[in-house]
Structure 1
Amino acid sequence: MQYDISHGSTAYATYARGYKGPAFNVFYNLTATGTNVIAPETSDSYEIGLKNTLLGGKLTLNLAAFYAKYKNFQANNPDLVAGVVVTRFTNAGDVSTRGVELDATLRPVRDLSITGGAAYTDAHVDKFNAPAGSATIPAGTPLGFAPKWKGNVSVDYRLRTGGFADVLLGAQGSYQSSELGLFAADAVQRQLGTIGAYSLVNLGAGLVSKNDRYKLTFQVRNLFDKSFAAAIANGGPGQAYRYQIPRDADRYFGVTGRVNF
């Protein structure tokens, strides 16, 4: 449903029903717990929001609130089959997510653009289907890789020189709160497998031809050399934890050239 409040403001509400069909595991030598049919996953999602164009088109501001409930959530589960660790498909249980989002774009003058966004998301387990004899993950446990807070802002400016090329200047910053990198029943493992909060800052400067056909950009990523992990897993040598380190976890420099035809 949509309602135009004014020429530059629109309110909306949506409902969606999702369905993911049944499935089977296809590994050989599965035990009886792995040969069953995976039940369909269903979801009910709701969203309400506002979309606004303000200040004569210079400011775009969007707000949204959402809620989604997933039943018979289909997920991968590590399992031991004939002495080999395999990934088995299971109905993990019921999960839900809710939150609010904001994004905005401001163009106060012709060549200056400021964009940003922020989101609060609470995604957690509602009911966990633990195999017989296994530990249960408590209701309310956050879902993996679902930080509660995320935000970003970027500023881009084009300096028109009147010469053969204009100068481009840009800066971007982002933040995310801590997130669960190791989804496990043991609370200690979840604590040790939590990826801490971190912020990143990127800078860029470049030259662009007047007709935007040629563009050369110099950039520095992760200006303050902030270290962080993209994922954490257990089961390493001596039961050590393994950290997957992404490229952006170290400061680096680069040059990008682009030609538009």
Structure 2
Amino acid sequence: GVIAFQPTNAGSSRTKGVEIEATLRPSRRFSVSAAVTYQQATLDVDGLNCPTQLQPSAITVALGGTRPVNTCYRYQFRAPNGSLATSGLVQDVRGGQLPVSPEWRFNVSPRWQGPITSSLDGFVQVDLSYQSDVQFAIEQDPLQTQDGYALVDASIGISAPDSRYTLTVFVKNLFNQNFYTTTTTSALIGNNLSVVDVYAFRPKNADRYFGASLGFRF
């Protein structure tokens, strides 16, 4: 019944991937900027806590037995007095997903800009961004996984030909896509797994909003 903290090695992580950025300009007034990132970000670490909802299926590894990976388990060991003891619940993660590291990201931004009167230029731009699913917990908690999502922003505006001033009207998160930037869990009750408390940080741009900006150069 006494909680004890034991320092342990933080494990290791590895990230590899490729990123490509490009700008296509089929005409003087129209351009498309794009970027694609693919990465494999994995971690190996021993002795982590087990997600609460996985604890009932934990196995017990006999003294001297082989400890499993990516599975919640207890292990038997000899106590200082020579008696046989059983550990608390742990897991050894291999090839886990590094927290907040989506495998895919891409964005595309088409833009048109050109004269609309002899003294004014106009522009229209749309920004589409996407990221694949992410895991927020180093313990690989299924309740703390967020599915992939896409965001669309749009803007329209006018400016002086020399760009001395610019007026822009914009909308962020056009389709009102909900998402979180991090999650965490409370101290869940192991003998009552129906009590699940997951907390999430929801940023401002997880809601659609509109705005305008006026810029001057001098």
- The normalised TM-score by structure 1 is 0.60
Write the letter of the residue equivalent to 2:150: S
Relative contact order higher in (CA < 8 Å, ≥ 6 apart): 2
Decide which of 107, 110, 120 is 2:28's aligned counterpart: 110
- Contact conserved, 2:36 with 2:105, CA < 8 A, in 1? yes
Query: Which structure's residues are more often strand, by fraction?
Result: 1
Matched residue SS, 2:90: coil
Task: Name the CA shift for 1:209/1:236 in 2 (closer, same or farther; >3 Å).
Answer: farther
Which has the greater radius of gyration?
2
Counterparts of 2:130 and 2:118, CA distance in 1: 38
How many residues matched? 172
Write out aligned runs for 1:5-84 (5 A): 33=6
Q: Distance in 2 between matches of 1:223 and 1:236?
A: 37
1:92 to 2:6 alignment: no
Equivalent in the alignment of 1:39: none
Q: Report if aligned partners of 1:195, 1:232 keep a CA contact under 8 Å in 2.
A: no
Unaligned segments of structure 1, at least 5 residues: 1-30, 35-89
Q: Measure the CA separation in 1 of the matches of 2:88 and 2:187.
A: 24
- Share of identical aligned residues, percent? 31
Q: Output the TM-score relative to the length of structure 2.
A: 0.71
Residue deviations 1:4-34 (CA, integer Å, cap 9, x gap): xxxxxxxxxxxxxxxxxxxxxxxxxxx8856
1:110 CA drift (Å) = 1.4
| Corresponding residue to 2:121 among 166, 170, 180 | 166
Q: Match for 1:214: what amino acid?
A: Y
Match of 1:146 in 2: 101
Runs of 4+ in 1 over 4 A off after TM superposition: 31-34, 129-134, 236-239
The gaps in structure 2 that reach 5 residues or longer are 50-86, 189-194
Deviation of the 1:91 alpha carbon: 4.6
- Distance in 1, matches of 2:38 and 2:46, equals 24
> CA–CA distance in 2 between the matches of 1:167 and 1:221?
19
Contact 1:94 1:128 in 2 (8 A): no
Which residue of 1 is the match for residue 131 of structure 2? 176
